[in-house]
Amino acid sequence: MSFSLYIAKRYLRSKSTNNAINFITYIAIVGIILGSASLFIVLSGFAGLRDFTLAFTTVIDPDLKAETSIGKSFILEPNLAKQLNEINGIASYSKVIEERIIASFDGNKQALYIKGVDANYKFVNVVDSIIWRGSWLTDKTNQVVVGDGVSNSLNIGVLDYGKRVSLFVPKPGKGQITSIQQAFNQVEAINVGVFSVNENLNDSHIFSSLELAQELLNYKENQITNIEFRLTEGADENKVKSQIQAVLGNNITLKNTAQLNDALYKMLNTENLAVYLIFTLILIIAFFNVVGSLIMMMLDKKKSLNTLFNVGATVKDIRKIFFLQGTLMSVFGGLIGLVVSTLLVLFQLYGPDNMKVMITQTLAYPVAFHAKNLVIVFLTITVLGIVASKIASVRITKNMIKTS
C-alpha cells in the first residue's frame, strides 16, 4: 500500500475535531449516495417505460421484414420460396400485401391501409393476443379484421352478415373516366373481429386474407409487397439476413424491428440521453460539496500536513492524499447508492403489489433492471469524483504547507 493511499484512508475514517467539517463531509457523502441512487432509479424507470412502450408498439412487428426498393411490389417465384424454406434460422415467414385503400360501411367512408396476409401470418405473429372482439380471419375468404379505432369511426360491428364492408382502390390506367366502376376496383368483405395494438394501427389498419388483397389490387398470384420473417430462438440475425438477401437479391431491402420503428427508437434514445444529462448536471452540483469538504479538511489538517512535509513527503504526495480521499469518498458513496437503488428497483419488480408504486390499481410503475445502467452510473460517479478531487487537491501549495 502506498504512503498517500494509507494516509487518505486514515483521513477518510477519522473524524475532525471541528464538528462543522464533519457535518460538511457527511452532507457530501449523503449527496453522492442520493445522487447515484436517484440516477440509477430514474434510468431503470425510463428503461421500464421504454420496454412497456415497445411491447405495445412492436407487438406485431416481425424479426425481419423484406421490402422492395423498386416500385411497390415484387414477384416471389416458387423457387425462391423453396430456397427461403431451406434457410436455417427462419421459424416461419408470411407473404404480405400492404396498400392504401378506401373503406365504406353503412354510409361512412375512411382512407385506411389494408394488410393482406397468408395463412402463415399467425405463426409469424401471435394474432390471438391482439384480438379484442370476435376472432381472426379465415384464410382465402372475404373476411376482414379491423382496428378498434376503425370500428368506432365506421361503426363496424362483428359478424354483421346483413351489412358488408366495401373496399375500394383506384384503378391504374389512363384516359377519361366516365363512371365510378371505371375509376375503382371494389370488393365486399365481412368483418369478423376487432384488434387492438396501439392508437396508430387501431385507427388506420384493416387485415384481410392475401387473396382478397390481391383481388382488390389486381395483383398476380405471387405478387406481394413484403415478406415478414420470424426467426428461431437464438438465431444469428445478421447471418440469416445475409442468406435471405442472397436469395431475394439486391432489389430487396431487409429491416429488423428497430429499423422498422426507427423514429420511435430515436425518440426514446434521445429522451433517455436527456434524462441522463439532466441528472448528471444535478450530480455535478452535488459534487461541489465534495470539493468544499476536501478544502475544509485541508485547512483543518494544516499542522499534520506540515509534519508530513518535514518528514519527507512532497507536495505531490500530499496532493495525492486528498485526491485519493475524494476519489474513495465518491466511489464508496456511489457503491452504497447503487446497492440501495438496486434493492428498490428489484422490490418494484418482484415485491408484493400492495407495497409497489402503482400507476393504476392493477398496473405497477414499470421498471427494468439493466446491468449497463449500473455501469453507467458507477462510471459517472467515479469520473465526477476524480474531477472534483483533482480540483480540490491542486489547492495545496508549498507555501500553504510551510505556513502551517
Q: Which residues contact 242 (CB under 8 A, 6 or more apart)?
A: none
Q: Which of 9-23, 299-313, 353-367 has the highest mean pLDDT?
A: 353-367
Q: What are phi and psi of 377, to 5 degrees?
A: -65, -45
pLDDT reported for residue 39: 92
pLDDT reported for residue 173: 56
- Indicate whether 400 pLDDT > 80: no
pLDDT digits (tens, 9 = 90+) for 98-122: 999 999 998 889 999 999 999 999 8
pLDDT reported for residue 225: 94
Q: Which residues contact 329 (CB under 8 A, 6 or more apart)?
A: 12, 25, 28, 29, 32, 290, 293, 385
SS3 312: coil
| DSSP secondary structure letters along 219-257 | --TTEESEEEEEEPTT--HHHHHHHHHHHH-TTEEEEEH
- Indicate whether 307 pLDDT > 80: no
C-alpha cell at 152: 368506432
pLDDT digits (tens, 9 = 90+) for 247-294: 998 899 999 888 888 888 888 888 888 989 988 888 888 888 888 888
Q: What are phi and psi of 367, to 5 degrees?
A: -135, 160
| CA–CA gap between residue 280 and residue 335 (Å, rounded) | 16
The pLDDT confidence band at residue 206, using thresholds 50, 70 and 90, is very high
pLDDT reported for residue 240: 93
293-305 mean pLDDT: 76
Q: Which residues of 41-62 are buried (b: 16+ CB within 10 A; e: fewer)?
A: bbbbbbbbbbebebeebbebbb
Q: Which residue has the cell 442468406?
A: 243
Out of 87-91, 201-205, 388-392, 394-398, which region has the weakest mean confidence (pLDDT)? 394-398
The rounded radius of gyration (Å) of the Cα atoms in the chain is 32
CA distances from 43 to 25, 58, 273, 334, 350 (A): 27, 22, 10, 15, 18
383 within 8 A of 331, measured Cβ to Cβ? no
pLDDT digits (tens, 9 = 90+) for 112-162: 999 999 999 988 888 888 888 889 998 888 999 999 999 999 988 887 777
Out of 21-35, 150-164, 165-179, 206-220, which region has the weakest mean confidence (pLDDT)? 165-179
- Indicate whether 176 pLDDT > 70: no
53-72 mean pLDDT: 83
Q: Which residues contact 310 (CB under 8 A, 6 or more apart)?
A: none
| DSSP secondary structure letters along 42-68 | HHHHHHHHHHHHHHHHTTT--SEEEEE
- Indicate whether 211 pLDDT > 90: yes
pTM of the model: 0.72
209 burial type by CB count under 10 A (0-12 exposed, 13-18 middle, 19+ buried): buried
Residue extents of the structural domains in the chain: 3-57+265-402, 64-257
pLDDT reported for residue 180: 57
| Residues forming beta bridges with residue 358, ordered by sequence position | 364
E-strand stretches of 106-224: 108-117, 131-134, 143-147, 165-170, 184-195, 205-209, 223-224
C-alpha cell at 395: 489547492
Neighbours of 23 (CB within 10 A): 13
Average pLDDT in the chain: 85
The pLDDT confidence band at residue 181, using thresholds 50, 70 and 90, is low
pLDDT reported for residue 174: 58
Of 329, 321, 254, residue with least CA distance to 290: 329
pLDDT reported for residue 3: 67
The pLDDT confidence band at residue 208, using thresholds 50, 70 and 90, is very high
229-245 mean pLDDT: 91
pLDDT digits (tens, 9 = 90+) for 316-364: 877 888 788 888 888 899 999 999 999 999 999 888 877 888 887 777 8
pLDDT reported for residue 16: 63
Better-predicted residue by pLDDT, 379 or 54: 379
pLDDT digits (tens, 9 = 90+) for 14-38: 666 667 777 878 888 888 899 999 9
